[in-house]
Every structure is written in structure tokens, then in C-alpha cells.
Amino acid sequence: MPPIEVGSTSATGAINGRLARPTGPSEAKPTGAKPGAPSLSAWAESPVVDGSSALDPGAAPIDAERVAEIRRAVANGTYPVIPTQIADAMIAAGVLLASHRE
């Protein structure tokens, strides 16, 4: 059997090695810590991930006035419940779900 090649062991991709190391002065180290080893609090304080706003979808498109109107109708008991529309919507949802399973 031929040997398996592992390849480079250096970090690849978007992970930056210096972000994983704490910066700034080391604080109190746990008992038994090696000299020069970073403290646990330094690890907790250093940011590791820089979030991006490129994938932020923004605020949800909610019509606050319409929501308030529906809440008032439900509280007053005047919200129209039409069983045939509810049944039609349930059947349509079942058909859509079944067609995506195939």
C-alpha cells in the first residue's frame, strides 16, 4: 500500500494565527502555568472573530400598523376566522412539502 501524503501542516484558509494569541500584558496565571504562557483572562478578552455586515439581511419587513390592527381584532374577538381558507392553506402547504420530497 502506498504511503498517505498529509501535506502542509501550516494554517490555511481564513484563520489568522495572530488572532488566536492574546495581546497585551499577561495577567494572573493559573497555578502551575508555565512562565510566559498567556493567562486565561487574556484569552477571554481578545476578540477572535471579526463579524462582517456583508451577510446582514437587515431589518425584517414588518408592517407595525397592520400587526397592531390584527392584535386589536384578536383582543376584541372580531378577527375573521374562515375555516375554508384555513383548510385550503393547509392543503396547499402539504402539497408544496410533498412535491419537494421527491
Please give the biggest Cα pair distance in the chain: 78
* Domain assignment present for 19: no
* Domain assignment present for 1: no
Q: Give the per-residue pLDDT at 11.
A: 55
- The answer, yes or no, to whether residue 99 has pLDDT greater than 60, is yes
* Domain assignment present for 67: yes
* Domain assignment present for 83: yes
% of the chain surpassing 90 pLDDT: 31
* Domain assignment present for 39: no
- Residue 13 Ramachandran class (φ > 0 left, ψ -120 to 50 alpha, else beta): left
**pTM (global) more than 0.85:** no
Q: Give the per-residue pLDDT at 91.
A: 95
Alpha-carbon torsion angle 6, 8, 12, 16, nearest 10: 130
Boundaries of domain holding 79:
62-102
Q: How many domains does the chain have?
A: 1
Alpha-carbon torsion angle 89, 91, 94, 100, nearest 10: -80
Contact 48, 20 (CB under 8 A): yes
Tracing cell 493567562 back to the chain, one arrives at 39
* Domain assignment present for 74: yes
* Domain assignment present for 13: no
Residue 3 CB-density burial (10 A; 0-12 exposed, 13-18 middle, 19+ buried)? exposed
- The answer, yes or no, to whether residue 32 has pLDDT greater than 60, is no
